[in-house]
Amino acid sequence: MKTSAPSVVTFIELQRAFADWLVDWIQDSLHERNIRAKGPPNPNAPTSRLDKLDGAPGYLWKLLRQALEEGQSWVVITLVGMSYFSEVADS
């Protein structure tokens, strides 16, 4: 009785499925961790009150908040790059 080895296509498909599962698992765990880290919202916090604004000020606040949240990583990368290159320029 001869057993056949798994085909290469099946192994590649298995690797891709595992990679997709791993990425999804990491994203889910980061999302859950961020939710736990934030904790329950404080209704008296300034940002909570700004979130409830209506009209143009509320719209501008929501745009600014979204830009800050999306641009956080770029600010960090820029600051790290500036500090690195200032050290390189000094030496």
Q: What is the model's pTM?
A: 0.40
Structure tokens belonging to residue 2: 């001869």
Residue pLDDT tens, the chain, 91 long: 566 665 666 777 877 888 888 888 888 888 888 888 877 777 788 888 888 889 999 999 999 988 888 888 788 888 888 888 887 777 6
Residues 35 and 2 occupy one common structural domain: yes
Which residue is associated with the tokens 């390189």?
Answer: 88
**52, 85: one domain:** yes
Does 26 share its domain with 48?
no
Sequence-separated (6 or more) residues with CB below 8 Å from residue 48: 41, 42
CB 33 within 8 A of CB 44: no
| Cα first-last separation, the chain | 71
Q: How far apart are CA 42 and CA 52, in angstroms?
A: 13
Range of the domain at 20: 1-39
Residues 28 and 51 occupy one common structural domain:
no
